[in-house]
Amino acid sequence: MRTLITGGTRGIGAAVARRLAADGHDLVLGYASDDAAAEHTAQACRALGARCATVRADVTTDAGIDELFAASGELTGVVNNAGATLHIGPLADTPPDVVRATIELNLTSAVLVARAAVRAMGRSRGGAGGVLVNIGSGAATLGSPGEYVQYAAAKAGVDTLTVGLAHEVAGDGVRVVGVAPGIIDTTIHADAGEPGRVARVGPLVPLGRAGTPDEVAGAVAWLLSEEASYVTGTTVRVAGGR
């Protein structure tokens, strides 16, 4: 098993990396700019027995996606995880360039990474077959009014990508599945301008708290495994009931 995780060096992606390392995957971890986090996560994965490479490549560029997959070798799994909310506030107060950047990162890049993934893994193109896991968001169904409807709209597109692409490649040895996290305790919220978001939103979740990256990683690991061999074209919500 050899799995590429975009955004695999911090937050949810790093937890997925550690979990997959423990499960026996070899790993390629993509990231944008934080070299120290990349090295830290790679060391943790190696300590768990995995071969682990890191590739600094921006998935919002065609060259970055090409570089990532060229460096990955033969893959049996791709976790399409890189993303960010970028800004918190009503749409009317969100600058157009931020709206465009949000959709570019969370939808356009996700679709293009998915394209590269099925080209790399599809048996008709010489791949070994495998599993693509798209990381969506509970925002896709909530719509996230007042916070980031442009991000929610992009993530709804990711859920639709999962359904359509799963049907396209079902006969090519590739399963396509999604995981939609609810509020998870990572720095994504502080990076978008609200460090206290986990404390504010956590109590609104039916289970009474925010989730941890490890709780998302468990679902991703299961979907990548043979135990989920009859699961495709659907998205699992890991959102504490919200």
Residues that bind ligand NDP (CB under 6 A): 6-7, 9-13, 30-34, 37, 58-60, 81-84, 105, 135, 137, 181, 183-184, 186-188, 191
Tell me whether residue 130 or residue 211 sits nearer to ligand NDP (CB atom).
211
Q: Measured from the CB of residue 184, what is the shortest distance to ligand NDP in angstroms?
A: 4
C-alpha angle 57/20/135, rounded to 5°? Answer: 60
Tell me whether residue 33 or residue 229 sits nearer to ligand NDP (CB atom).
33
The Cα 113–Cα 110 span in angstroms is: 5
Query: Helices H, strands E: what count in the chain?
Result: 10, 7
Nearest to 120 by CA among 172, 69, 68: 69
- Token pair of 163 as six digits: 């359904």
Q: Which residue has the tokens 């799994």?
A: 77
Q: Measured from the CB of residue 103, what is the shortest distance to ligand NDP in angstroms?
A: 12
Tell me whether residue 55 or residue 166 sits nearer to ligand NDP (CB atom).
55
Nearest to 216 by CA among 182, 191, 177: 182
SS3 74: coil
Tell me whether residue 118 or residue 140 sits nearer to ligand NDP (CB atom).
140
Q: Measured from the CB of residue 117, what is the shortest distance to ligand NDP in angstroms?
A: 15
Q: Catalytic site residues?
A: 151
Q: Measured from the CB of residue 42, what is the shortest distance to ligand NDP in angstroms?
A: 12
CA distances 14 to 82, 124, 150, Å, are: 11, 31, 25
The Cα 109–Cα 53 span in angstroms is: 21
Q: How many residues does the chain have?
A: 242
SS3 219: helix
Pairing of strands 235-238, 174-181: parallel
Q: Measured from the CB of residue 185, what is the shortest distance to ligand NDP in angstroms?
A: 7
Tell me whether residue 30 or residue 240 sits nearer to ligand NDP (CB atom).
30
